[in-house]
């Protein structure tokens, strides 16, 4: 059968028809909201390249967590942003049991017990050189030597009460190292969410401001994936599943929808996608300039990530999108 018998427009007339045949729906349940923890009290530092995003001290993170939960968002992911003076060559502040992230985890768990608290695991925020692992004398990144430290960080966060640890470093073998460390310490129930297919992306630009974690020299291309590669993403994901990952992640999200789709198709794993800082900043900037309709572009960008196969979306838009979804639900 073909035109004129077939007319796909028949089911597009009016919002009710469109709703009735809609294949994908965003829900507030799909979102995880990233939070940035700094020291001090009452600190709320805006981030120039990410309007609406703040570095928050532990007391204010708790307030923020309450707001996130009230909006119905299931969880947050925490990043620590230590003072420059607390950084060293081995990222000690990243696995200090009394460090920023463990403190924030404990405070949120106590105040907002039902909100999922994930902890990002990496060294780059804590090393004075800004790389995600230890350096060799030649200045290259030594992944194998970094594994015990990443495992130590994951342990510190899990012991503080994190509902999940999410290694974002991209060192080979880290999922297995973290899994073993958690299991050995009686934390076998703490899931690992692997940033499995993480690309060396220019879309991380604004994050490097908010997390103050830009590498002091070089770049992350020696450990993060080449944006040209997608078959390789499947190999990364397969390895991490084999090492015990409970959920896998693709990052960035919007420019890598094909990778999200393929990962979900190939493994059927719980799959997360991270709509990163640059994706957020571009939409915000376009909206501020009046060049695009920010709200519609936001919702469409999130819907596209979901349609591609993501079960969860880590996004700085989580609160804004939750409000839009809430408004819609109320108007129907
Ligand atoms: C570092 C890390 C980065 C992001 C999350 N963890 C930056 C990088 O790898 O260079 C980026 C997140 C974002 O841009 O929103 N391990
Ligand atoms: Zn890192």
> Which ligand gives the minimal distance to the CA of 166?
1
pLDDT in tens, 68-77: 999 999 999 9
CATH code, domain with 76: 3.20.20.70
The Cα 271–Cα 147 span in angstroms is 24
Looking at residue 329, its pLDDT comes to 66
Residues lining ligand 1, Cβ inside 6 A: 120, 122, 124, 132, 168-169, 204, 207, 213, 220, 276-277
* Domains: count for the chain: 1
Domain assignment of residue 84, yes or no: yes
270 has pLDDT over 70? yes
Q: 8 lies in a domain?
A: no
CA 244, CA 225: separation in Å to the nearest integer? 20
Structural domain includes residue 18:
no
Range of the domain at 70: 24-328
Residue 210 makes CB contacts below 8 A (sequence gap 6+) with 36, 47, 49, 50, 53, 55, 81, 277
Q: What is the pLDDT of residue 209?
A: 87
What pLDDT digit, counting tens, does each position of 11-70 carry? 999 999 999 999 999 999 999 999 999 999 999 999 999 999 999 999 999 999 999 999
In the predicted structure, residue 283 carries a pLDDT above the cut 80: yes
219 part of a folded domain: yes
In the annotation, is 198 catalytic?
yes
Instruction: Please indicate, yes or no, if residue 78 is contained in any of the structural domains.
Output: yes
CA-to-CA separations, 181 to 9, 99, 190, in angstroms, rounded: 57, 19, 11
* DSSP H helical ranges for 161-256: 174-184, 205-210, 231-242
Q: How far is the CA of 292 from the centre of ligand 1 (A)?
A: 26
Pair of tokens at residue 324: 């839009």
Average pLDDT over residues 249-253: 98
**Domain assignment present for 34:** yes
Ligand 2 geometric centre to CA of 213 (Å): 8
Residue 286 lies in a domain: yes
* CA 169–ligand 2 middle distance (angstroms): 5
Q: What percent of the chain has pLDDT over 70?
A: 99
**Residue 17 included in any domain:** no
- Mean pLDDT, range 289-317, rounded to an integer: 98
Among protein residues, the one whose CA lies closest to atom 8 of ligand 1:
204
Confidence of residue 332 (pLDDT cuts 50, 70, 90): very low
């Amino acid at each position: 059968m073909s035109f004129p018998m077939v007319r796909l427009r028949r089911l597009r007339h009016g919002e009710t028809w469109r709703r009735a045949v809609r294949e994908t729906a965003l829900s507030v349940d799909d979102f995880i909201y990233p939070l940035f923890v700094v020291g001090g009290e009452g600190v709320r530092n805006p981030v120039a390249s990410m309007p609406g995003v703040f570095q928050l001290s532990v007391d204010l993170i708790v307030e923020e967590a309450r707001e996130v939960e009230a909006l119905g968002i299931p969880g947050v992911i925490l990043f620590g942003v230590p003072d420059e003076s607390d950084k060293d060559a081995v990222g000690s502040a990243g696995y200090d049991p009394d460090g920023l992230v463990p403190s924030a985890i404990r405070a949120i768990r106590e105040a907002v017990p039902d909100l999922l608290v994930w902890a990002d695991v990496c060294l780059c925020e804590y090393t004075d050189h800004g790389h995600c692992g230890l350096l060799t004398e030649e200045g290259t990144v030594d992944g194998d030597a970094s594994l015990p430290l990443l495992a130590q960080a994951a342990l510190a966060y899990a012991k503080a009460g994190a509902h999940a640890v999410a290694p974002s470093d991209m060192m080979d073998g880290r999922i297995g190292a973290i899994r073993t460390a958690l299991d050995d310490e009686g934390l076998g129930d703490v899931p690992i969410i692997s940033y499995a297919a993480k690309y060396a992306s220019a879309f991380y630009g604004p994050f490097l401001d908010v997390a103050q974690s830009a590498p002091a020299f070089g770049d992350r291309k020696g450990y993060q994936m080449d944006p040209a590669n997608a078959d390789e993403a499947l190999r990364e994901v397969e390895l991490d599943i084999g090492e015990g990952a409970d959920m896998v992640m693709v990052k960035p999200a919007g420019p890598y929808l094909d990778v999200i789709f393929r990962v979900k198709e190939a493994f059927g794993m719980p799959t997360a996608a991270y709509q990163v800082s640059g994706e957020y900043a571009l939409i915000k900037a376009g909206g501020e300039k009046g060049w695009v309709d920010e709200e519609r572009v936001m919702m469409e960008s999130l819907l596209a990530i979901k349609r591609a196969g993501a079960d969860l979306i880590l996004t700085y838009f989580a609160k804004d999108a939750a409000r839009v979804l809430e408004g819609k639900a109320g108007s129907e």
